[in-house]
Amino acid sequence: MQSKLIVQKYGGSSVGDVGRIERVCDKIISYAKKGNKLAVVVSAMGDTTDELIELAKKINPNPEEREMDMLISTGEQISSALLAMAIHKRGHEAISFTGSQVGIITDKYHTKAKILKIETDRIKKELTAGKIVIVAGFQGKSTKSEITTLGRGGSDLSAVALAVALGADMCEIYTDVEGIYTADPRIIKNAKKLSFITFDEMLELAARGAQVMQTRAVEVGKKFNMPIYVKSSFSEKEGTVIMDKLPHIEESVVRGVALTENEAKITICDVPDKPGIAARIFNDLARESVNIDMIVQNVSHKKMTDISFTVPKDKIAKTLKVSKKIADNIGAGGIISDEAIAKVSVVGVGMKSQSGVAAKCFSCLAKHKINIEMISTSEISISCVVKKDLGKEALKVLHKEFGLDKIKG
């Protein structure tokens, strides 16, 4: 059999304790024994990253982002070294590296750095020497030689970017579910595993709450057309290939639903209805790097209007501060924030050529007496904001309405 260069990534729960590291190690060795060259990316063990963030907040509620990166990058360093030790114990050659050591070069933006390039010489040298190369995920080194991290879930990105840089034959993401499902299988018990999903569909699902793949990792896969194979670390079952085009001739219109409870709704009330106000509000928020998702401007009443938008919950304090300043400056009435919201989305490339999907989605929610507070659409998705306590119910009824429990994966 011809030897392949495979990049594999094992997520946090897959290396959550010693027993799991041992199992992952056996899996890696079985691939190596088939003559494959392996570069393995690992996440931090279990909830290590969350725990490190909690720890930092106990010391300083507003830690500097440089120091946060120094701290949270350590989780992956631990798991990569332990995995290398486990491989050594079994008599195979392996070497672990930090992102910095293997030349994953990023920009300077701590906690959300972008990869600029990957210097592959060192990895290639070790692979040629017959070693299994283990790379700590989620991290790199900035052009100023500072340690950076790549945003939450960033080990997915490390793996896909490495696969692209190395020209790998395969990029495999091992996680705690068997692949990409029509909905989060932990919430929707009869969700169906998909054999294939397009980059575009996966991008929409990921951006709308399906945490199984980091959005930026899918973007890199799409940009370089690197298929990503998502499968379970705990079973041998077939997973899901994320790829450019589906191999089927025709597809069901909706292919997945997603839920996020991580956003909050901000309303600036009684905003003067005149040109330039929206530009001012959103420019000021952009300057503070607050990512806005949905925006709704109500119908003007007596030359006044309300503007509502959603932001990630961890940006709410910053958003309120900026919005308050803007509201005072433009003579707006006041600000209301609502954290008790959820956003449900339906996604499918087939929507491009099919009408009536939005109507079906809204009718389904109405039939179940779920009020829609905000709506946004793209070519291949529809998202609705609902009350938080109705989010899971909304996901469930939409999953059924679009026949996703019966879809052929």
Binding partner of 49, given Mg ion, ligand ADP, ligand ASP, none, CB within 5-8 angstroms per partner class: ligand ASP
Cβ distance to ligand ADP smaller for residue 147 or 212: 212
Helix (H) or strand (E) holding 237: none
Contact set for ligand ASP, span 7-36 (CB under 6 A)? 11-12
Compute the distance between CA of residue 17 and CA of residue 10 in angstroms, rounded to an integer.
Answer: 13
Looking up tokens 């829609």 gives 372
In order of 4, 36, 153, 171, 213, the CA distances from 218 in angstroms are 22, 24, 12, 12, 7
Nearest residue to ligand ADP by CB is 11
Cβ distance to ligand ASP smaller for residue 75 or 348: 75
Q: Which of 78-86, 145-153, 332-340, 347-355 is the region at the interface with Mg ion (rule: CB under 5 A)?
A: 145-153
Among 73, 80, 155, 198, binds ligand ASP (CB under 6 A): 155
Helix (H) or strand (E) holding 243: strand 240-243
Cα 162-224-229 angle, rounded to 5 deg: 65
Looking up tokens 């499918």 gives 348
Contact set for ligand ASP, span 113-142 (CB under 6 A)? 137-138
Binding partner of 186, given ligand ASP, ligand ADP, Mg ion, none, CB within 5-8 angstroms per partner class: ligand ADP
- The least distance separating ligand ADP from the CB of residue 116, rounded to whole angstroms, comes to 24
Site membership for ligand ASP, residue 153 (CB under 6 A): yes
Buried b (16+ CB within 10 A) or exposed e, 220-238: bbbeeebebbbbbbbeeee
Binding partner of 181, given ligand ADP, ligand ASP, Mg ion, none, CB within 5-8 angstroms per partner class: ligand ADP
- The least distance separating Mg ion from the CB of residue 286, rounded to whole angstroms, comes to 27
Binding partner of 246, given ligand ASP, Mg ion, ligand ADP, none, CB within 5-8 angstroms per partner class: none
Which alpha helices (DSSP H) does 8-73 contain, by range? 18-33, 48-59, 65-72
- The least distance separating ligand ADP from the CB of residue 10, rounded to whole angstroms, comes to 7
Site size toward ligand ASP, by CB under 6 A: 13
Cβ distance to Mg ion smaller for residue 153 or 348: 153
CB hemisphere CA count around 312 (13 angstroms) = 8
Non-local CB neighbours of 184 within 8 Å, separated by 6+ positions: 191, 210, 212, 258, 259, 395
Site membership for ligand ASP, residue 152 (CB under 6 A): yes
How many residues are present in the chain? Answer: 409
- The least distance separating ligand ASP from the CB of residue 213, rounded to whole angstroms, comes to 10
Binding partner of 204, given ligand ASP, ligand ADP, Mg ion, none, CB within 5-8 angstroms per partner class: none
In single-letter form, the type of residue at position 133 comes to: V
Contact set for Mg ion, span 222-241 (CB under 5 A)? none
- The least distance separating ligand ASP from the CB of residue 17, rounded to whole angstroms, comes to 15
**Do 175 and 155 form a contact (C-beta atoms < 8 A)?**
no
**Do 94 and 87 form a contact (C-beta atoms < 8 A)?**
yes
Query: Which of 227, 247, 229 lies closest to 180, judged by CA?
Result: 229
- Which residues contact ligand ADP by CB under 6 A? 11-14, 43, 153, 175-177, 180-181, 183-186, 205, 210-212, 256
Contact set for Mg ion, span 329-388 (CB under 5 A)? none
Which residues are at the interface with ligand ASP (CB under 6 A)?
Answer: 11-12, 43-44, 49, 75, 137-138, 152-156
Which residues are at the interface with Mg ion (CB under 5 A)?
Answer: 153
